[in-house]
Structure 1
Amino acid sequence: MSSSGGLALHTKMLIGFVVGVAAGLLVNAFAADAGWVDVVTTYITDPIGQIFLRLLFMLVIPLVFTALVLGVVEIGEPHSLGRIGFKTLLWIVAVTAVAVTLGLVLVNLLQPGAGLDEAARAALMAQAGERGGEIAAQREGVSGIQVLLNLVPRNPVAAAASGDLIAVMVFALFVGIAATVVRTDGTRTFVGACQGMYDICLALIGWVIRLAPYAVAALLFTVTARLGVDVLLQLARFVGTVLLALGIHFFVVFPLLLWVFGRMSPLAFFRGAQPAILTSFSTSSSSATLPTTLKVSEEALGVPRSVARFVCTLGATANMNGTALFEGITVLFLAQFYGVDLTIAQQVMILALCIFGSVGAAGVPGGSLPVIAMILAMFGIPPEGIGLILGVDRLLDMCRTTVNVTGDMAGAVVIGRSEIAGGHAEAPPATPDRV
């Protein structure tokens, strides 16, 4: 993605990262106790960051609701594809759950966000304001039965207004199922309106992300002016954890699934899928890679055309293994970074939110940011921590998009193979190496 100013957006974000970190380190080294630093952070850098975060919060509810409704409708719309739709849904949920669980385990083992000085952490929490503490207090002492009951909102509008994301997701799933069953002109109009709202959200996210370089500089200046070089060490550990988790999912989980369920040699798969893998890495967009994904799946991987078109098209917006993994690690890392203790039950809830939230993450660069911001707020973790992540997000976005697209192709292979084995589709004349 490039901007009208000539520089690519990710280049501007990198510049914002460098400017914010460099200025913050200089202030931390030479003027940490100066009165003007508080003035700058209180009246300039913090408001800039807060406006950016509020814009993200503004988009998350309509984005997630419309994306989930459209995803359910698209899965179950044509009766002839009902069987493939069920298999696709099963693949998305199962493989995404594996990805998020992998991230959860690694974060708890490696503790990338732990080790920050307690005084510095207390200062960060104080600076983040009282909102996070209020939200956290509201969630203390909630029993498992209450969590289960809260999945179904009494009032979906109130749930949306209070930021209860998982209740909104459950309501969206019900609406999507009903819209699939009730085939009337009115429901078709409603689905069309959802599509229009989803397209509007994508456009707005694109505009908001253009402000990210300035938000990155402002948020990182605020943090590094107080923490100094410590924050960079924590950030490096975060990047390492994300890349390790993505690498395990890409080089271990996918090959095992292809070998066991797809009956295909992983080497043959990666050799055939190479054009789409490279395209996804360079564009950071599942949607932009879709034409290449379809071509590769049909011609190089031997997936029946009907299966490839359905699975890959739906996967470009709904099958986000890498995004879900990244969201889970980011939330847990920032919880460790800010010293917010999360119980196992809360971590499992985050896992579920990331599974469904990844469906609502737009298949464009930065599309997962609104979902991450909302999950952070739900668990009393200061959303300002997104500023840390944005500075290094370009590389991570490229890597997780590669995992997303590879997951689409692997799913197409597995589902296509099951259709051929069941006699519902014909094998292509020339198939790649299979075992």
Structure 2
Amino acid sequence: MSGTTPGAKTPMPLHWKIAIGFAVGLVLGLFVHYGIGAEAAWVQALTRYVTTPFSQLFLSLIFMLIVPLLFSALVVGVSEMGDIGSLGRIGWRTLAYTILLSGIAVVLGLVMVNIFKPGAGVDPVLAQQLLAEGAERAQSIVRDSATQPTGMEMVLSIVPQNVIGAASNNANIIALMFFALMFGVGLVLTQTPQTAVLKRGIEGLFQISMTLIGLVIRLAPYAVFCFMFNLAVLFGWDLLIRLGAFVLVVVGALAIHMLVVYSLALRLIGGWSPLAFFKGVQEAMLMAFSTASSNATLPTALKVADENLKLPKKVSRFVLTIGATANQNGTALFEGVTVIFLAQFFGVDLTFGQQFLVMLVCILGGIGTAGVPSGSLPVVALICAMVGVPPEGIGLVLGVNHFLDMCRTTVNVTGDLGIAALVSKGEADTDPDSVLARAREPEPEPEPVPRA
């Protein structure tokens, strides 16, 4: 007997509510920007005291729960593998797919920016205005890039000397992930009644974190409305038009990577249906586009992997928590395009060797970039300084960065879920009811009709 009351209305899916909030916020924001003006006193009061604080509160609530969620999800995901062999198999496959897709993303971005050369067509007067407007923030980003670890320092920073300190700093979240990974390995190697109790306690922490985040996510449609309203009221379409060539190259490359490269990988490597995959992950894509943060989208990605794609939990928890920081395909692509764009603008002729160096650093930067809004900008400034491009030029793209951050985060999160789907292929506990599994199963042959 069904538990659904006859005649009762089915609740609207969350991703539709988010889409409505996105569209309404964008339309109202554009109406206010062009019809009333962002300088109106009541508009400034609305954005300063209502929409901006609410959107910041939503992100703060998500980030407040990210550390316990990330730690517990990764520990439980590793411990559920049962043996080090499974961990090694899934870990190496995750790393291989991450490097492969990140490399393709960066190469695609470099090819497009060299073909269309968006930096060569920027009006010098407009460029000076944009540089002046973003000078203060650009200098701050350049200072931050000087403190970013490089080379061996980057490798050593993965191992935290103080786990609590790593947990308190979003920029060093990969160190917390390393500790959680080691903690999970310890649980696998230590099979005692005491560790079994500890494992159940960490599973409880994961369940509590997901429950609390589920409550916070109910605010997502309203937060998305505030995000888009603020963006449209303050900027309208002006900045996108003023740097249109650069924006089109980045968005075009991101779209090709997500829709073409991911689809080919899912079909050729995993045997999955791309249409079934994209239909299943649309809620996570909307959340990623709205928040511009892989970490903030992690709870939704885990929910989508479990409920929509029905991937093995040991795979989804491991791959998605790692991928929130270590698989930033869209970010790596954006970093490569932006560096070459600035080199074209300043007339710096980069050799093939220098562009190859840019590609390698972008792949590494995509792995080590914090999964928070604008986390890639210090890396872009660092790469610019390495190849002789003035890092202060990052002020040119600050105005359009938030929109592009939303686009590349969508690609990042979709890539995390795509790699989870690829890694899950062949795992014994893949759910037979998965939409992906059903999509790749061959149609049963009709039974022969017996002759009379």
Partner of 2:155: 173
The answer to whether structure 1 residue 434 and structure 2 residue 416 are counterparts is no
Partner of 2:216: none
The Cα offsets for residues 165-198 of structure 1, whole Å up to 9 and x where unpaired, read as 7x8234433675xx5xxxxxxxxx7262662474
* 1:113 match: secondary structure: helix
Matches within 5 A, 1:42-53: none
Alpha-carbon distance change, 304 to 401 in structure 1, aligned in 2, over 3 angstroms? same
Matches within 5 A, 1:312-327: 312-327=320-335
CA displacement at 1:339 relative to structure 2: 0.7
Matches within 5 A, 1:147-166: none
Partner of 2:112: 106
Alpha-carbon distance change, 234 to 337 in structure 1, aligned in 2, over 3 angstroms? farther
State the distance in 1 between where 2:400 and 2:146 align. 27
Q: Which of the numbers 285, 289, 293 marks the counterpart of 1:281?
A: 289
State the distance in 2 between where 1:304 and 1:317 align. 21
Alpha-carbon distance change, 99 to 393 in structure 1, aligned in 2, over 3 angstroms? same
What letter corresponds to residue 287 of structure 1 in structure 2? Answer: N
Between stretches 115-124 and 242-251, larger displacement belongs to: 115-124
What letter corresponds to residue 265 of structure 2 in structure 1? Answer: L
* TM-score, reference length from structure 1: 0.60
What letter corresponds to residue 327 of structure 1 in structure 2? Answer: E
The answer to whether structure 1 residue 362 and structure 2 residue 370 are counterparts is yes
Alpha-carbon distance change, 304 to 346 in structure 1, aligned in 2, over 3 angstroms? same
The answer to whether structure 1 residue 192 and structure 2 residue 163 are counterparts is yes
Q: Which of the numbers 396, 399, 415 marks the counterpart of 1:391?
A: 399
CA displacement at 1:76 relative to structure 2: 9.5
State the distance in 1 between where 2:147 and 2:406 align. 30
What letter corresponds to residue 240 of structure 1 in structure 2? Answer: L
State the distance in 1 between where 2:420 and 2:407 align. 20
Q: Which of the numbers 336, 344, 351 marks the counterpart of 1:343?
A: 351
Partner of 1:257: 265
State the distance in 2 between where 1:373 and 1:265 align. 39
Alpha-carbon distance change, 270 to 121 in structure 1, aligned in 2, over 3 angstroms? closer
What letter corresponds to residue 192 of structure 1 in structure 2? Answer: V
State the distance in 2 between where 1:201 and 1:164 align. 13
What letter corresponds to residue 282 of structure 1 in structure 2? Answer: S
* 1:261 match: secondary structure: helix
Question: Structure 1: 5+ residue runs without aligned partners?
Answer: 1-6, 20-69, 130-159, 180-188, 203-228
Partner of 2:450: none
State the distance in 2 between where 1:325 and 1:368 align. 11
Partner of 2:100: 94
The percentage of aligned residue pairs carrying the same residue is 47
State the distance in 2 between where 1:171 and 1:97 align. 23
State the distance in 1 between where 2:387 and 2:342 align. 11
Partner of 1:240: 248
> Do the aligned residues in 2 keep the contact of 1:164 with 1:378 (CA within 8 Å)?
no
> How many corresponding residue pairs?
300
* 1:392 match: secondary structure: helix
Matches within 5 A, 1:47-126: 79=84, 80-115=86-121
State the distance in 1 between where 2:318 and 2:366 align. 19
Alpha-carbon distance change, 200 to 386 in structure 1, aligned in 2, over 3 angstroms? closer
> Do the aligned residues in 1 keep the contact of 2:166 with 2:172 (CA within 8 Å)?
no
> Do the aligned residues in 2 keep the contact of 1:121 with 1:337 (CA within 8 Å)?
no
Partner of 1:299: 307
Between stretches 328-337 and 390-399, larger displacement belongs to: 390-399
Alpha-carbon distance change, 162 to 407 in structure 1, aligned in 2, over 3 angstroms? closer
What letter corresponds to residue 109 of structure 1 in structure 2? Answer: I
Alpha-carbon distance change, 317 to 118 in structure 1, aligned in 2, over 3 angstroms? closer
State the distance in 2 between where 1:275 and 1:120 align. 38
Alpha-carbon distance change, 410 to 123 in structure 1, aligned in 2, over 3 angstroms? closer
State the distance in 2 between where 1:377 and 1:349 align. 12
Largest Rg, 1 or 2: 2
* 2:150 match: secondary structure: helix
CA displacement at 1:232 relative to structure 2: 8.3
> Do the aligned residues in 1 keep the contact of 2:78 with 2:318 (CA within 8 Å)?
no
> Do the aligned residues in 2 keep the contact of 1:303 with 1:413 (CA within 8 Å)?
yes
The answer to whether structure 1 residue 373 and structure 2 residue 378 are counterparts is no
State the distance in 1 between where 2:288 and 2:266 align. 20
State the distance in 2 between where 1:250 and 1:161 align. 30
Between stretches 311-320 and 116-125, larger displacement belongs to: 116-125
Alpha-carbon distance change, 234 to 120 in structure 1, aligned in 2, over 3 angstroms? closer
Partner of 1:147: none
The answer to whether structure 1 residue 407 and structure 2 residue 410 are counterparts is no
CA displacement at 1:98 relative to structure 2: 0.6
> Do the aligned residues in 2 keep the contact of 1:286 with 1:316 (CA within 8 Å)?
yes
What letter corresponds to residue 172 of structure 1 in structure 2? Answer: M
CA displacement at 1:124 relative to structure 2: 11
What letter corresponds to residue 168 of structure 1 in structure 2? Answer: T
